[in-house]
Structure 1
Amino acid sequence: MSQKETAIFAGGCFWCMVKPFDEMPGIESVISGYTGGHVANPTYEEVCTETTGHTEAVEITFDPDVISYADLVEIYWRQTDPTDAMGQFQDRGDSYRPVIFVNGPEQRKIAEESKAKLEDSGKFDQPIVTKIEDAKPFYPAEDYHQHFYKKNPFRAEIEEMGGRDQFKREVWGNNK
């Protein structure tokens, strides 16, 4: 039996970041929450003020024998615009910035190598500005934010239509 690991990714509204990971084999849980800030146990309302330093993110618990961290990073790139440092699609501001929060040197190495590979691919004509930062405490968001796409499918679909789906189709050829 393998040891479970965690990965933390920020890519705009956490509602849009759950489903792509939640549906993959080897994923034990995907939790929406806040990380990277200086206030303990922030609320959604506090994070929205842009004064806590937190970024909306997802914490993924996974089985590395089934899905690797490198695979998760590749899925992450396909959900975000890595050339936009100040938000994602219709979500603007520091709390929506794209960040890969790494848990240790092995995750950092994988994330940095993947970022360099993406930069060298020529897929984007602007620099890749997604940050790679050390993980900080992760605080789960309120219950109503968890698995939002299942609880509120119509609202979640509207969020995706805010430019994310079109971007994914144009850049990656699909919306997965």
Structure 2
Amino acid sequence: MLKRLLVVIVATLGLSVSVMAASAMAAPQRETAVFAGGCFWSMQKAFDHVQGIISTRAGFMGGTVKNPSYEDVTGEGTGHLEAVEVVFDPSKVSYDTLLDTYWHHTDPTDPRGVICDLAPSYHTAIFTFDDAQYAAANASKAKVQAFLKKTVVTQVIKASSLKLPFYPAEAYHQHYWQTHAAQYDGYALGCGRAIALHKLWGKLAD
């Protein structure tokens, strides 16, 4: 009787361990990155097409006002930058790949902003969340500067140095390129974004 009970206990424990192991394998790894590259509609669109990304959110980072609205930020009184938060699985997509995506979908050389969006809230920056991201972002920035043969004005900022976190923008801004396709396409065409990026990056902007 005791032997049979032990067998049942061992089998049950083994099943529990197997279930836990399977759950751990199924759950994706998660890391966070935040990029400010001008219009967050366009930045979010760029990252929405990358395999291995779990989620993206358009929002604001780097300012001095809690819970800012879009009107607050674009009124240029909060110090925030339009940015995109990227949650990704590092086993499926590397941080270096995210950096490449970022650079090739913005203009990091204009201190006024990006293409047609020229204001402080459209300045470019990479917000990093650990030492590895900080080192990778700075190394990538140096390579971009050498490639473009222009000064790259993009700041690399440690998120830990900021007093406030990333704040998501209002719901209607999320995935705007999909939910308001006609309006977004009109903005992008009028801005001349694609033409400007191809002039800067060539085929890398595709």
Q: If the TM-score is normalised by the length of the shorter chain, which range does it land in?
A: over 0.9
Give the TM-score normalised by the residue count of structure 1: 0.94
Provide the identity percentage: 45
Give the TM-score normalised by the residue count of structure 2: 0.81
In structure 2, what residue type is equivalent to 1:97?
H
Partner of 2:31: 5
Instruction: Report how many aligned residue pairs link the two structures.
Output: 174
2:154 to 126, 130, 135: 130
Shift of 1:163: 2.6
Q: Is this contact kept in 2: 1:148–1:156, CA < 8 A?
A: yes
Shift of 1:158: 2.3
Segments of 4+ moved more than 6 angstroms: none
Q: Is this contact kept in 2: 1:32–1:57, CA < 8 A?
A: yes
CA distance in 1, matches of 2:94, 2:140: 13
**1:143 aligned onto 2:171:** yes
Deviations 1:15-73 (A, max 9, x none): 11111111111011110001100111111111111111111000000000010111100
1:62 to 73, 88, 95: 88
**1:45 aligned onto 2:87:** no
CA distance in 2, matches of 1:52, 1:114: 29
* Higher RCO (CA-CA < 8 Å; seq separation 6+): 1
**1:90 aligned onto 2:116:** yes
CA distance in 2, matches of 1:42, 1:128: 28
* Alpha-carbon RMSD: 1.3
CA distance in 1, matches of 2:102, 2:186: 20
**1:21 aligned onto 2:47:** yes
Q: Is this contact kept in 2: 1:101–1:133, CA < 8 A?
A: yes
Q: Is this contact kept in 2: 1:16–1:159, CA < 8 A?
A: no
Deviations 1:129-157 (A, max 9, x none): 11111224000000000000001112211
SS in structure 1 of the partner of residue 84 of structure 2: strand
CA distance in 1, matches of 2:155, 2:182: 31
SS in structure 1 of the partner of residue 143 of structure 2: helix
Segments of structure 1 that go 5 or more residues without pairing to the other structure are none
In structure 2, what residue type is equivalent to 1:50?
E
**Structure of greater Rg:** 2
CA distance in 1, matches of 2:128, 2:158: 5
CA distance in 2, matches of 1:101, 1:67: 18
- In terms of fraction of residues, the more helix-rich structure is 2
